[in-house]
Amino acid sequence: MSELPGWLRWPLLIFGGGMLLLLLLLLAVVLLSERRLNAAVSLQPRPPAIPMDPELFERGRRLAAGLLRCTSCHGEDLGGKVALEDSRYGRFVAPNLTTGPGGVGAAYTDADWVRAIRYGRDPQGRPLRWMPVADYIGLADSDLAALITYLKAIPPVRRELPEFSLSLLARWDYVRGRFRLSDAEQVNLELEPPLTPPRSSPAAYGRYLAKIGGCNTCHGERWNGARIPYAPPDAPPAPNLTPHLTEGLGSWSEEDFRRALRTGRRPDGQLLDPWMPWQNFAHLSDEEVRALWAYLWSLPPLPTAPEAQAKTAR
């Protein structure tokens, strides 16, 4: 076979070298993302005291279906489901939490539940994917006890679930910090949670509820809008919830706020954006809605943050 002519040899060498560099980059992305997603820590959490109180089950049920949004990802029966399937980012599967076949409930101890809910780690200390523990880290011991009580008592579910899968794009954005896959990497393992929710002040109680409900995780630390951390980069931003008259909730009444959480509609009748989990917040009690409203109205009225300027429905 004759040698390639010189005018063709160099372009082929450059092309081959470029392909080799691309393959090495992709391999590095996969290895780095896998290393982060499987990095274990030694964690021996203290389980909360769980009294024999029949009201704990009902409180845990309302937390799971409502503020903590467990049913949004794990299904109404908590038997697990495909939480999101995106052609660009992959398949995100929330596991079966019951004692049914394949469910984690059959093997989890109280300490395992604490490790998973409060710290986002599996029994081996590896980070759980898509678990919003940046919100749950502040869960009071009394509410955590109620949730564990409920999870241990739910009926077993038998369900076959597909594997969790991540695309190269998701891994690339994860490595670059543009896509969050695990809050466990950010939580403070030394943080002491409150023993009981601060119900003496509606605004203080509302702040607690907003924190464990993940409201400011989406709407921003200053509450004036932000990009949604778990959403793909092209998802609409969360809107301004400060009492700003024209850009926030300043023109809303408490009844408007309650109606939005109960029905998913703004005062003008428009539907809230699908990223807003109002179906979960519809489980809030009247006391909890009043507390959230009191807290939001205690905030300084701020214009919408630059990163949330895209037009979205509140």
CA dihedral 260, 265, 269, 273 (to 10 degrees): 130
Residue 200: how many CB atoms within 10 A of its CB? 7
Fold identical between 54-179 and 202-308? yes
pTM of the shown model? 0.82
Per the model's pLDDT, the better-predicted residue between 207 and 25 turns out to be 207
What is the SS3 assignment for 136-153? HCCCCHHHHHHHHHHHHH
Q: Where are the domains of the chain?
A: 54-179, 202-308
CATH class of 202-308: mainly alpha
Which pLDDT value is given to residue 19?
76
In a 13 Å sphere around the CA of 281, the CA atoms on its Cβ side amount to 25
Mean pLDDT of 178-205: 84
Tokens standing for residue 72: 């949004």
Residue 206: how many CB atoms within 10 A of its CB? 24
Mean pLDDT of 165-172: 88
Per the model's pLDDT, the better-predicted residue between 287 and 13 turns out to be 287
Tokens 């993302």 belong to 33
Terminus-to-terminus CA distance in the chain, angstroms? 69
- When the pLDDT of each residue in the chain is averaged and rounded to a whole number, the result is 88
**Choices 1.10.760, 1.10.3660, 1.10.1740, 3.40.50: CATH for 54-179:** 1.10.760
Mean pLDDT of 11-21: 73
Residue 187 identity (one-letter amino acid): V
Which pLDDT value is given to residue 314?
40
- What is the distance between the alpha carbons of residues 93 and 38, in angstroms, rounded to a whole number? 17
pLDDT above 90: residue 290: yes
> Residues for the chain: how many in total?
314
In order, the DSSP letters of the chain are -PPPPHHHHHHHHHHHHHHHHHHHHHHHHHHHHHHHHT--------PPP----HHHHHHHHHHHHTTT-HHHHH-TTSS-EEEEEETTTEEEEEPP-SSSTT-GGGT--HHHHHHHHHH-B-TTSPBPTT--HHHHTT--HHHHHHHHHHHHHSPP-----PPPEE-HHHHHHHHTTSS---GGGTS-TTPPPPSS--TTSHHHHHHHHHHHTTHHHHH-TTSEEE--TTS-TTSPPEEE-S--TTTSSTT--HHHHHHHHHHSB-TTSPBPPTTS-HHHHTT--HHHHHHHHHHHTTSPP-PPPGGG-S----
pLDDT above 90: residue 115: yes
Determine the longest span between alpha carbons in the chain, in angstroms.
88
115-129, 172-186, 188-202, range with greatest mean pLDDT? 115-129
Which pLDDT value is given to residue 142?
92
pLDDT above 80: residue 232: no
- What is the distance between the alpha carbons of residues 224 and 162, in angstroms, rounded to a whole number? 38
Tokens 């029905």 belong to 263
Phi and psi at residue 278, to the nearest 5°: -65, -25
Alpha-carbon separation of residue 217 from 81, 109, 202, 225, 231 (angstroms): 23, 29, 21, 10, 12
